Structure 1
Amino acid sequence: MASEQEFIRLSEQRGSAEHGLLQLAADFHLDAFQPSLFSLCGIHCPATIAAATRKRQAEYFAGRWLADRALNAFGIDRFTLLADAKRCPQWPEGLLGSISHGDDKALCVTASRQHYRAVGVDIQRRISAAAAAKLQQRILSPSEIQLLAHSGLRHGDAVALCFSAKESIYKALYPIVQRYFGYRAAELIAIDPSRSQLHFAISPELADLPGCPSEVKLLYEQVGELLRSSLLLEH
């Protein structure tokens, strides 16, 4: 019989529902995952996930497990957190949120729309210099590459953080703009290592849309071998 306690445990809590922003993290163990945990814990398993690999099922379960606890904190029980065609979770009225996961860690940020207009969180594993050299050609402009080179950050970490930040930006802004956009739609324009902050300019094509900001600042941090970014856009 699958055991919830053997598979996953809450490892971190920041903020509170009372103050309109709750960030949760959990550690999970793939070897201890069983698909029966979905029914055991009352978490909906879409057909696409049921047909996916065991690893994908475990990651999905971990993210929804955290979201369920976050929603409970906001006074919402037994909510089925479905996703749209772009895999964007459809949060209850009055709330917004974001989910991410690494190989053995899941993150979830949930916020009140009364206080926040966009939130996005992402976690990535640290990468080698060789992997960073390939990745930066796909997601970064020459000016961004130059900026990262003078950031004082390890090159692999700098590129992975920028990738993570652009993922967080997409998760935060997609519900506002309701359209797909690529990595070049957000341009890194400044890094502040003393504040662990990344500053991005949003392309005019997006920024001209109702509710979309022209610039955003994200926080970043390293947690073991994982790198985390978060965009918390207040009203």
Structure 2
Amino acid sequence: MGHFIILLESQLDTSTLFSQEFSLLLPNTGVNGTMVRYCVEHFEPHMLEECPYVEPHLVFNSVKQRQIEHLAGRYCSNRALQTLFNTERSFLIGKGRHGQPLWPSSVVGSIAHSQDWAVAIVSQHAKWLGIDCEDIMTMETAQQISTMIAQPNELSLLSKCDLPFNYLLSLLFSAKESIYKAIYPQIEKILDFNVVSINKFDLENNFMKFKFSVELQKILNGVEEITVSYFFVEDSICTYVHELN
């Protein structure tokens, strides 16, 4: 288990598409990434055509928010891959049948975004790699959807944690998304929220442990649990999974 450090932070021109950019590094793992804050109001559709790392047809008919999410996510992916391979060439990341990114053959990676942030992480040595970025939901939303995301035993565990419930449920939701992204290449199917269950929440060290369902353990060759780490970035949270070969 490890935590990302900011290798380089850039404050960019606020009149441009990206106002902040972080280079991320997970020490001693070979995992690196890029995170940007994007400005929806500065996006124009023609930008998709001008980016060598974007396939515009993938989001041609999408709403503006989805288009910029796609562009920002691919930008982060491209930057992370350039760092990984120490090159300035551009990388096109395709899209699979369930919307999952299609990475170069030697790479494991993951992309995520919230309302204002996009992030991508990559590695050549990871067994599982997944990241998710979410805006912290309101207390009203958390109370309305809690039973859709959390099982009774999970809600009981959350009730003992010293953070507002909407923060905790946002973390739980994001963590499960990170897990699903990480294991998708091995299972290749959409999962319900109840196939993993949180059994430890360490607020001091910013990680959670989850237990796989018996059915999922069989698919994953007997693996019983997985660790998810997290960090906060302004009004959003990022959770991530990294399991090395």
TM-score (norm 2): 0.88
Question: What percent of counterpart residues are identical?
Answer: 24
The CA distance in 1 between the partners of 2:49 and 2:34, in whole Å, is 22
Q: In the alignment, what sits opposite 1:36?
A: 46
Q: 1:160 aligns with which of 170, 174, 177?
A: 170
Q: Is the 8 A contact 1:98 1:121 kept in 2?
A: yes
What are the equivalent positions in structure 2 for 1:114-153 lying under 5 Å apart?
Answer: 115-153=125-163
Residues 165-189 of structure 1: per-residue CA shift (max 9 Å, x gap): 0000110011111122111111011
The yes-or-no answer on 1:84 pairing with 2:84 is: no
The yes-or-no answer on 1:110 pairing with 2:122 is: yes
- The alignment partner of 2:35 has SS state of strand
Q: Is the 8 A contact 2:69 2:113 kept in 1?
A: yes
Deviation at 1:29, TM superposition (A): 0.4
> Comparing 12-21 with 212-221, which one deviates more in the overlay?
12-21
The CA distance in 1 between the partners of 2:66 and 2:221, in whole Å, is 33
The CA distance in 2 between the partners of 1:203 and 1:197, in whole Å, is 20
Q: Is the 8 A contact 2:55 2:92 kept in 1?
A: no
Distance change (3 Å), C-alpha of 1:59 and 1:198: same
Distance change (3 Å), C-alpha of 1:227 and 1:4: closer
Q: Is the 8 A contact 1:199 1:215 kept in 2?
A: yes
Deviation at 1:74, TM superposition (A): 2.5
Give the counterpart letter for 2:49 in structure 1.
S
The CA distance in 1 between the partners of 2:161 and 2:28, in whole Å, is 37
Q: Is the 8 A contact 1:7 1:33 kept in 2?
A: yes
Deviation at 1:59, TM superposition (A): 0.7
Residues 59-92 of structure 1: per-residue CA shift (max 9 Å, x gap): 1100001111111222363332111111111111
- Could you say what the CA RMSD is over the residues aligned between the two structures, in angstroms? 2.1
Deviation at 1:19, TM superposition (A): 5.9
The yes-or-no answer on 1:184 pairing with 2:194 is: yes
The CA distance in 2 between the partners of 1:9 and 1:96, in whole Å, is 27
Q: In the alignment, what sits opposite 1:94?
A: 106
Deviation at 1:45, TM superposition (A): 2.8
Residues 140-176 of structure 1: per-residue CA shift (max 9 Å, x gap): 1000001001011110000010000000011001111
Q: Gapped runs of 5+ residues in structure 2? A: 1-12
Distance change (3 Å), C-alpha of 1:40 and 1:18: farther
Q: In the alignment, what sits opposite 1:195?
A: 205
The CA distance in 2 between the partners of 1:18 and 1:140, in whole Å, is 33
Deviation at 1:17, TM superposition (A): 11
Q: Is the 8 A contact 1:188 1:198 kept in 2?
A: yes
Residues 184-206 of structure 1: per-residue CA shift (max 9 Å, x gap): 11101111111111110011212
The CA distance in 1 between the partners of 2:110 and 2:19, in whole Å, is 19
Q: Is the 8 A contact 2:48 2:56 kept in 1?
A: no
Q: Is the 8 A contact 1:4 1:37 kept in 2?
A: no
Number of equivalenced pairs: 231
Q: Gapped runs of 5+ residues in structure 1? A: none
Q: Is the 8 A contact 2:33 2:76 kept in 1?
A: no
